[in-house]
Structures are given as structure tokens and as C-alpha cells.
Amino acid sequence: MKFLVPSLRSRTPVPSLGGGGMRCKPLIPLTVIGPKGQETCLALLDSGADDIVLPTALAARVGVDLSSAVAGTARGVGSAQPVGLLYAPVILVLTDNVELCRWRAVIGFTQAPLRFPLFGIAGGLEHFQVTLDIGDRQITILPKPTLPATQDPVP
């Protein structure tokens, strides 16, 4: 799968970009499927994120019940202080409209403010070979045999 790396306007000039106002962000369209629906969001590819982390509001919209979810904490998600995570199973879909990968994952949901949901290692990057080429503004994502593919309609 191949994705274009979008450029987003910065609120202020960026010194490391020579005062430029556009930053490249490795964002990919990630579809989350729950028992009552699905939603696609732009998620930030983040090799420093241990998990896939999405907002709890998204869980509610797709019908993921967090009342019996396993609780955990993380740092660096929306704040330097530890934030709560609730882990629950979902089905995830990545597609570039040519190829499609659909798999089961247990991901973290948080109430912490996120500029972008995070596509991290566990349940996500661990199952793919990813090449990020900022110069050509392209992300290439290839599934590995470890991808727990599914065609089930709901988690």
C-alpha cells in the first residue's frame, strides 16, 4: 500500500524549516470497526508509540464497550503526565484503494487530548514493513505474515 504524506500548515513559522510554515506528517487513513459501526480517522504513524491509541469518543461511536476494558497508563500521550488507557478489541482496516488489510487488534482508548490518533507498535506497526520517504512524500506499508487477518464483520 502506498500513501501520500500530507503537509499541514503550522500556526507559526518553524525555525528548523527555515521559517517555513508547512510540516509533513506521516498520516494514514485507519478504519476502526466496532460492534455498532465503523469510522475512519487519520492516524499518525509513530514508531515511538507502544500502542495504537484512539480517543474514547471514537470507541463510543463504533460501539466498543469500555466498561470491562483492561486499564493501563501511558506517558507522552497528550501530556507529560501519565494518562489512562482502556484496552479493547477492534477490527482495523488500512487501504490505499488498491490493496486492503483487515485485522484484529487490541488497542488503547484514551480521554487525553490527541491531535492525531496514534498508529503505534503493538497491534499495528509490528505487523507491517513501513518505509517513510519524506523527500518523495510517500509511505509504503507492506503486511507481514504475522498480520492477524480477518473477514469477520465485527470484533
pLDDT at 74: 87
> What is the model's pTM?
0.92
pLDDT at 31: 98
Placement of cell 518553524 in the chain: 14
Handedness of CA 60, 43, 11, 7 (dihedral sign): negative
pLDDT at 82: 87
The superfamily CATH assigns to domain 2-12+20-143 is Acid Proteases (2.40.70.10)
Residue 147, Cβ density class (10 Å: 0-12 exposed, 13-18 middle, ≥19 buried): middle
Residue extents of the structural domains in the chain:
2-12+20-143
User: Each residue of 8-25: pLDDT tens digit?
Assistant: 888 888 788 888 888 899
What are residue 129's DSSP bridge partners? 142
pLDDT at 79: 61
Low-confidence ranges of the chain (pLDDT < 70): 77-79
User: How many other β-carbons are positioned within 10 Å of the β-carbon of residue 30?
Assistant: 23
Q: Which residues of 41-78 are buried (b: 16+ CB within 10 A; e: fewer)?
A: bebbbbeebbbbbbbbebbeebebeeeebeeeebeebb
pLDDT at 108: 97
